[in-house]
């Protein structure tokens, strides 16, 4: 049913790539961001062939034969970056700010058809915003994320390249507070509830059989009290790693973060409250952190009342920013690698993709220099997707995921909010 619905979605979304993957492109840049060195390099050219980067070199070294053979895309007024990579999305889930039990309502009143159409629209919006790859971490029913990934891969609709987790692995109750015992089947439709070590192994096998790229587990279920044990999480990690699949853990407080790291996970999502000793352990074990902190503007959109009242919001934002800045800077000081993830699911009425990119502005607000912010959004995040040899760098042999932003992005990170050019796999999707 989901696949048929996504086909309907494809028919309702205007979609025409401006070039086929076999097209040869010569892209002239004003500046090129080298994500490996975190440097901006002026007057560099990119040659694209069959969906991949054929070469990157100074404009003066491009030969007359190449200029004749390759079609020109003139981006000399812009800075060119690798496509952005959001490693924590929920494309098929929407929560309104007025309803605190939105997940239950979403599952019981909207259903798979709406979810598929909504996910298709958001996927298109993300790609057009310059986010060419995502990692979708659950809240998509029973593998609807996989159907969306397939539809994008088959060209039925435009969207970013997707890593998908399927239903998150969690202890009883998952993240759905207030659901009475008779209605627990609702939870089973959204999460894979794990009961014991053997069941944890079985859950991973079920997911691998469905074709997931990543396993997501819940080290805690806040606001619910239930938690997976270290033994259950270790069983998940061992089985996933046997298939060369990374494991990322939703973990919001120090005990659950520490337990997940001890169990061997590859990445921590959120990590809101974490001790220095746990951060040091993360660095030692090369466990990445995805902060999902947002920026001041996004926080204001989330915290204002349904009536638009902003009383006290400024003080709350200042407090949240101080706490998250402290956590992020301590993580960086400890040597923890940071990746870019938005946890974008709240309906803030912004355009699709904007709430995601505001996390990059948020990193800058918390003291991360712009070159390192862009490195986090490309190079680091590609590694978290286990695709560090394919995307995240503008380099020979890599997939041609290329975007352009204003030339002053090296001085103003908010330039990422406007993306006049987007290429994915050598196909041009946006050219303004």
> How high is the pLDDT of residue 97?
63
CB 338 within 8 A of CB 376: yes
CB 219 within 8 A of CB 227: yes
pLDDT tens figures, 285-321: 999 999 999 999 988 888 776 666 677 888 999 999 9
Please choose, from the candidates 96, 141, 87, 86, the residue with its C-alpha nearest in 3D space to the C-alpha of residue 119.
141
Place of tokens 């956590």: 327
Residue 103: band (very low, low, confident or very high) from pLDDT cuts 50, 70, 90: low
Pairing of strands 161-164, 131-136: parallel
Report yes or no: 208 and 245 within 8 Å, Cβ to Cβ. yes
Please work out, in degrees rounded to the nearest 5, the angle formed at the alpha carbon of residue 366 by the alpha carbons of 360 and 372: 55
pLDDT at position 3 over 80: no
Structure tokens at 417: 């909010």
Asked whether the predicted pLDDT for residue 4 surpasses 80, the reply is no
pLDDT digits (tens, 9 = 90+) for 364-373: 999 999 999 9
Mean pLDDT over 211-238 rounds to 97
**Total number of residues shown for the chain:** 432
Which domains does the chain possess? 10-82+393-431 (2.30.40.10), 84-384 (3.20.20.140)
CA distance 402 to 399: 9
| 46 bridge partner residues | 27, 56
Residues 375-406 have pLDDT tens digits of 999 999 999 999 999 999 999 999 999 999 99
Residue 112 — pLDDT band, cuts 50, 70, 90?
confident
Residue 343 pLDDT exceeds 50? yes
Summarize pLDDT for 149-206 with one digit per residue, the tens.
Answer: 999 999 999 999 999 999 999 999 998 887 888 788 888 889 999 999 999 999 999 9
The pLDDT value given to residue 308: 65
Choice between 163 and 115, residue whose per-residue pLDDT is larger: 163
Q: What is the pLDDT of residue 183?
A: 80
Whole-Å CA distances, 193 to 64, 68, 141, 189, 254: 61, 59, 13, 10, 23
């Amino acid at each position: 049913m989901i696949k048929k619905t996504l086909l309907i979605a494809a028919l309702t979304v205007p979609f025409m790539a401006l070039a086929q993957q076999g097209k040869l492109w010569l892209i002239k840049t004003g500046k090129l961001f080298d994500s490996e060195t975190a440097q901006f390099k002026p007057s560099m050219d990119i040659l694209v062939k069959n969906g991949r980067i054929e070469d990157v070199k100074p404009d003066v070294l491009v030969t007359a034969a190449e200029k004749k053979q390759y079609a020109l895309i003139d981006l000399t007024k812009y800075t060119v970056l690798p496509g952005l990579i959001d490693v924590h999305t929920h494309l098929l889930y929407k929560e309104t700010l007025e309803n605190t039990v939105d997940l239950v309502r979403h599952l019981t009143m909207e259903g798979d058809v709406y979810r598929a159409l909504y996910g298709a629209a958001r996927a298109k919006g993300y790609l057009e915003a310059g986010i060419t790859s995502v990692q979708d971490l659950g809240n998509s029913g029973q593998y609807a994320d996989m159907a969306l990934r397939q539809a994008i891969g088959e060209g039925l609709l435009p969207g970013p390249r997707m890593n998908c987790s399927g239903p998150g692995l969690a202890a009883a109750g998952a993240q759905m507070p207030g659901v009475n015992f008779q209605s627990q089947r609702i939870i089973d439709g959204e999460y894979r509830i794990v009961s014991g070590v053997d069941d944890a192994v079985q859950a991973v096998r079920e997911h691998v059989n469905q074709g997931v790229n990543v396993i997501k587990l819940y080290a805690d279920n806040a606001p619910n009290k239930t938690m997976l044990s270290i033994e259950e999480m270790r069983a998940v990690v061992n089985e996933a790693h046997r298939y060369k699949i990374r494991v990322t853990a939703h973990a919001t407080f120090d005990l659950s973060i520490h337990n997940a790291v001890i169990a061997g996970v590859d990445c921590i999502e959120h990590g809101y409250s974490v001790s220095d000793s746990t951060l040091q352990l993360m660095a030692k074990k090369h466990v990445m952190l995805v902060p999902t902190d947002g920026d001041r503007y996004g926080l204001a959109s989330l915290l204002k009342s349904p009536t638009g009242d902003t009383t006290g919001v400024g003080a709350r934002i200042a407090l949240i920013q101080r706490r998250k800045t402290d956590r992020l800077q301590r993580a960086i000081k400890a040597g923890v690698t940071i990746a870019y993830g938005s946890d974008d699911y709240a309906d803030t009425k912004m355009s699709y993709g904007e709430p995601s990119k505001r996390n990059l502005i948020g990193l800058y607000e918390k003291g991360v220099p712009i070159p390192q912010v862009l490195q986090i959004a490309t190079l680091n995040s590609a590694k978290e997707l286990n695709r560090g040899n394919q995307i995240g760098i503008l380099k020979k042999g890599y997939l041609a995921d290329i975007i352009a932003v204003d030339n002053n992005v090296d001085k103003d990170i908010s330039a990422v909010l406007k993306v006049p050019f987007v290429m994915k796999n050598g196909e041009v999707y946006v050219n303004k």
